[in-house]
Amino acid sequence: MRSRLPVVLVLPAVVGLAFLLVPLAGLLIRAPWATLPAQLFSEEVGQALRLSLVCASLATVVCLVLGVPLAWLLARSDLPGRGLLRALVTVPLVLPPVVGGVALLLVLGRRGLIGEHLDQWFGISLPFTTAGVVLAEAFVAMPFLVISVEGALRAADPRYEEAAATLGASRWLTFRRVTLPSIMPGVVAGTVLCWARALGEFGATITFAGNFPGRTTTMPLAVYLALESDPDAAIVLSIVLLFVSVAVLAGLRDRWISA
Amino acid sequence: MTLHADLRVQRAGFSLHLDLALEPGEVVALLGPNGAGKTTALRALAGLLPGGRVRSGESDWDGLPAEKRPIGVVFQDYLLFAHLTALDNVAFGLRARGTRRTEANAVARRWLDRVGLADLARARPRTLSGGQAQRVALARALATSPELLLLDEPLAALDVSTRLRVRSELGRHLADYPGHTLLVTHDPLDAMVLADRIVILEDGRVVQQGTPRDVVRQPRTDYVAHLVGLNFYRGVASGTEVRLGEGGTLTIAEPAEGPVHVVFPPSAVSLFPSKPAGSPRNTWQAVVSGVEQHAHTTRVDLDGSPAVLADITTATMAELRLQPGTTLWVSLKATEIHTYPR
């Protein structure tokens, strides 16, 4: 028989586990289950939920359209300074989202480097709009997609692309018909992670897009607001987000991440 | 129309310089040891590497990328697209070159039928056996009717039993194919069986070329002699005497003059515990340096002047009680030795 597990390891492990799980359990215990259905379908929650889903999905689309080609460039081209570029792309991953929001304001705000011209020439103003929410979420979430897709691309054998070339396929056709299908698991995993990150985005969104119910108040913002005025609503919103997160995790584990 | 290729690839510590002329319908094998530059040559021809100048009649492929060259490639591990069915794999080249789907599928189906895989049209590559995958890869490469077919070690990934069958099938398809074929291999048997002409590449340079028969009978380098299993020496002949470069003299039956290559099969060599009396004109002393058991014979490696390989029967082996270090007498009939000018 193996000797007993050492207490110096087991004790902190159990404390750590409790530290991670007890708050989640608390959320479930304190939930106003009786009034939950009513809360869930209230105008306020419904609005925030819809806005969140729409914005996170749009942000994910933006990330896919821009991020997959970016990942391809990082993985397949012989661009000088590729390593540095790769490092820079991951900055938003570790950057406090609030800083991201400030940076976006400085560039795309009404007085920003680009925002000024957008406003003057096209009359477009992004801050404090739904489009601004989408941008803020995409900014924070895109690295998740890029890293996941780039990893899949590096793991994929480039000789299949050569085989496609010898069959007369252009690089674009090769990408669509050969490369993309072979990295699909990575793309799906990246998309889901990206979407989940966008859904939970708070800091960059509130900084860049503000907090206007129906326009920029997404779920996380609504939770924060409701905590002051209507704690029960905050709990309901939190539970919705918790379930979405768990569902994402379960979906990823079953289909794409087998440990 | 003859296809002329002038391949020049420079890389750190390696340079390839290969001129090839391929006739239509001809199968040329590029044979050489690992690192000789065979695959580099194939990649340059395919346009996957710069440095492959190819002229074919009026057209010049200089600087064209792979997708613009009229080629078909069978890769060593086939590289079938895993997410496509066998049929879609074969139709891929036609679709990529703009053929409509129904027509591409019809052509692909005919090709699958030709390689005997009509029932597996819907199968995914991972469900195919090695031999089947190889046939799909061949059908995929030929479906676009390429001018030049390139085969990179097409049999290397197969096990010995399938190999024999797939090799003869491949030979049949190559015989039917009207274009130019270049087969890259390190297996002399593949080259002998499948090719009309063998080009031997060592260190990025051609060291010998000719029909399989010529190559087998008259090797020009140690590598080739080793491949075809002959004792091989360079020497200077004067009448029926050949003085060997590495020491020793051999008596030959057919008189010759000047620098020659000298070959004889290991089976022509006899070994004796003491100096044999009588007929053979060539006898010398040698020390056993290695013994290797083959199916029905034993190959003995002997150091001497000259060093020599001998194939002896298991009975002789037992009789002589051979082991490394044993000193023996080597005997060789003059009529078994073949010489040809260097």
Res B226 pLDDT > 70: yes
Q: Mean pLDDT over residues B177-184, rounded?
A: 94
pLDDT of residue A101: 93
The pTM of the full predicted model, rounded to 2 decimals, is 0.81
Residues of B in contact with A165 (CB under 8 A): 47-48, 65-67
Question: Which has the closest alpha carbon to B96: A33, A169, A184, A112?
Answer: A169
| Cross-sheet strand order for the sheet of B14-22 | B14-22, B3-11, B52-56, B59-60
Q: Which of B8-17, B19-28, B137-146 has the lowest mean pLDDT?
A: B8-17
Residues of B in contact with A167 (CB under 8 A): 67, 72, 92-93, 96, 140, 144
pLDDT of residue A214: 85
pLDDT digits (tens, 9 = 90+) for B61-119: 888 899 999 999 999 999 999 999 999 999 999 999 999 999 999 999 999 999 999 99
Residues of A in contact with B140 (CB under 8 A): 167
Q: Which of A35-44, A199-208, B29-38, B174-183 has the lowest mean pLDDT?
A: A35-44
Q: Mean pLDDT over residues B247-268, rounded?
A: 92
- d(CA A249, CA A257) in angstroms, rounded, equals 10
Res A257 pLDDT > 60: no
Q: Mean pLDDT over residues B266-287, rounded?
A: 86
Domain B3-226 in CATH 3.30.590.10? The answer is: no
Share of chain B above pLDDT 90, in %: 67
Residue A180 contacts B where some CB pair is shorter than 8 Å:
no
A181 and B46 within 8 Å at the Cβ level: the answer is no
Res A258 pLDDT > 50: no
- d(CA B46, CA B54) in angstroms, rounded, equals 10
Instruction: Please check whether the two domains, B3-226 and B229-341, share a CATH topology.
Output: no
- d(CA B111, CA A67) in angstroms, rounded, equals 40
Q: Which residue ranges make up each domain of chain B?
A: 3-226, 229-341
Q: What residues of chain B have any CB closer than 8 angstroms to a CB in chain A?
A: 46-48, 65-69, 71-73, 75, 79, 81-83, 92-93, 96-97, 140-141, 144, 150
A163 and B75 within 8 Å at the Cβ level: the answer is yes
Measure CB to CB from residue B73 to each of A160, A163, A171 and give the nearest one.
A163
Residues of B in contact with A182 (CB under 8 A): 81-83
A178 and B81 within 8 Å at the Cβ level: the answer is yes
B48 and A166 within 8 Å at the Cβ level: the answer is yes
CA-based Rg of chain A, rounded to a whole angstrom? 22
Label residue A255 by pLDDT band (50, 70, 90): low
pLDDT digits (tens, 9 = 90+) for A81-97: 888 998 999 888 889 99
Give the residue on B whose Cα is nearest the Cα of A170. Answer: B67
- d(CA B35, CA A26) in angstroms, rounded, equals 66
Closest Cα in chain A, distance from residue B107 (Å): 15
Question: Which has the closest alpha carbon to B53: B107, B84, B17?
Answer: B17
pLDDT digits (tens, 9 = 90+) for B125-160: 999 999 999 999 999 999 999 999 999 999 988 888
Measure CB to CB from residue B79 to each of A160, A168, A170 and give the nearest one.
A160
Closest Cα in chain B, distance from residue A168 (Å): 4
Give the helix/strand (H/E) hosting A98: helix A97-108
- d(CA A201, CA A221) in angstroms, rounded, equals 9
Q: Which residue ranges make up each domain of chain A?
A: 51-218
pLDDT of residue A259: 40
Question: Which has the closest alpha carbon to A175: A58, A89, A57, A75?
Answer: A75
- For A59, B66, B204, the CA distances from B8, given in Å and listed in that order, are 50, 17, 9
Residue A78 contacts B where some CB pair is shorter than 8 Å:
no
Closest Cα in chain B, distance from residue A183 (Å): 11
ipTM of the complex: 0.83
Interface probe, candidates B73, B76, B79, chain A, greatest A C-beta count within 10 A: B79
Q: Which CATH number fits domain B229-341: 2.40.30.20, 3.90.1150.10, 2.40.50.140, 2.40.50.100?
A: 2.40.50.100
Q: Mean pLDDT over residues B7-32, rounded?
A: 91
Q: Are A109 and A115 in contact (CB under 8 A)?
A: yes
B71 and A166 within 8 Å at the Cβ level: the answer is yes
Measure CB to CB from residue B144 to each of A157, A163, A168 and give the nearest one.
A168
The phi, psi pair for B10, rounded to 5°, reads -110, 130
Residues of B in contact with A168 (CB under 8 A): 67-68, 93, 96-97, 144
Q: Look up residue A145 and give its two tokens.
A: 């997609």
Closest Cα in chain B, distance from residue A58 (Å): 29
Res A31 pLDDT > 90: no
The interaxial angle of helices A130-155 and A82-89, nearest 10 deg, is: 140
Residues of A in contact with B97 (CB under 8 A): 168
Question: Which has the closest alpha carbon to B251: B242, B260, B259, B238?
Answer: B242
Measure CB to CB from residue B96 to each of A167, A181, A182 and give the nearest one.
A167
Looking at residue B300, its amino acid is V
Q: Which of A18-27, A50-59, B56-65 has the lowest mean pLDDT?
A: B56-65
Looking at residue A193, its amino acid is L
Mean pLDDT for chain A overall: 88
Q: Count of alpha carbons within 13 Å of A218, Cβ hemisphere only? A: 32
CATH number, span A51-218: 1.10.3720.10
Q: Count of alpha carbons within 13 Å of A10, Cβ hemisphere only? A: 4
Residues of A in contact with B73 (CB under 8 A): 163, 166
Share of chain B above pLDDT 70, in %: 99
A165 and B92 within 8 Å at the Cβ level: the answer is no
pLDDT of residue A3: 73
Residues of B in contact with A157 (CB under 8 A): 79
Give the helix/strand (H/E) hosting A153: helix A130-155
Closest Cα in chain A, distance from residue B11 (Å): 18
Mean pLDDT for chain B overall: 91
Q: Mean pLDDT over residues A4-13, rounded?
A: 90
B66 and A159 within 8 Å at the Cβ level: the answer is no
Residue A168 contacts B where some CB pair is shorter than 8 Å:
yes
